Amino acid sequence: MSDVPVTTDLTFALDWRHGLGARGAFFAAVAAGRLIGARCPACGATVVPPRARCGNDATLMVPVDLPPAGKIRQLTLGAPSALARGDAGCVFALVQVEGADNSLLTRITGAAAVGARVTLAPATGEVIHPAQHLVFAVTPAH
C-alpha cells in the first residue's frame, strides 16, 4: 500500500511482577503435590480450582482438599505454546478430578488415553509461572 515500504524490526521485552491473589493458594498447593478445590455450602457443588463464588448460585464457597487424582475425560496432542516450560510433553487433557463436579485442564505425562487414571505429579524443574507445575501423570496399571 505504501509507495516506499518502510519497516523496522522491534523487540519489546516486558517484566512483570504478577499477583496471583486468591488463586495463589491453589498453585502453592499444586507445587507441593496437593489439590485444593472449593465446595458450595448451598448446592454442594465441588470444583477445582477453587473459586470465590459458586458458578451455580453465586454463594461464597469454602476451600476443600481433594484427592490429587482423577480420570482423563478428553485429551489433545499438540505442540504447546512458547510459554510452556519443562519436559512434560505435548498432551493436554480435561481431567475429571475425584470428588469434583467439573474438569481441570492440565498437562499429562505418560501413556495418555481417554479414561486413563492420572495422579498429580507436579513439575519440578524451573518454571516461569506456577501453572507450569500443574502436571498429572498416567497412573501405571497394576
Cα–Cα distance, 87 to 78 (Å, whole number): 14
Cα–Cα distance, 49 to 31 (Å, whole number): 14
Q: Does 13 bind other proteins (CB under 8 A)?
A: no
Please tell me whether the peptide bond between 80 and the residue prior to it is cis, using omega within 30 degrees of 0: no
Q: How far is the CB of 142 from other proteins (least distance, A)?
A: 27
Query: By C-alpha distance, which of 83, 99, 94, 95 is closest to 132?
Result: 83
Cα–Cα distance, 79 to 87 (Å, whole number): 12
Give the residue with the Cβ less far from other proteins, 7 or 142: 7
First and final C-alpha spacing in the chain: 65
Interacting residues with other proteins between 108 and 137 (CB under 8 A): 128-129, 131-132, 134
Q: Does 10 bind other proteins (CB under 8 A)?
A: yes
Residues that contact other proteins, how many (by CB under 8 A): 39
Among 55, 58, 65, 124, binds other proteins (CB under 8 A): 55
Interacting residue ranges for other proteins, rule: CB under 8 A = 1-2, 4-7, 10, 12, 20, 23, 47, 49, 55, 74-85, 92-94, 102-107, 128-129, 131-132, 134
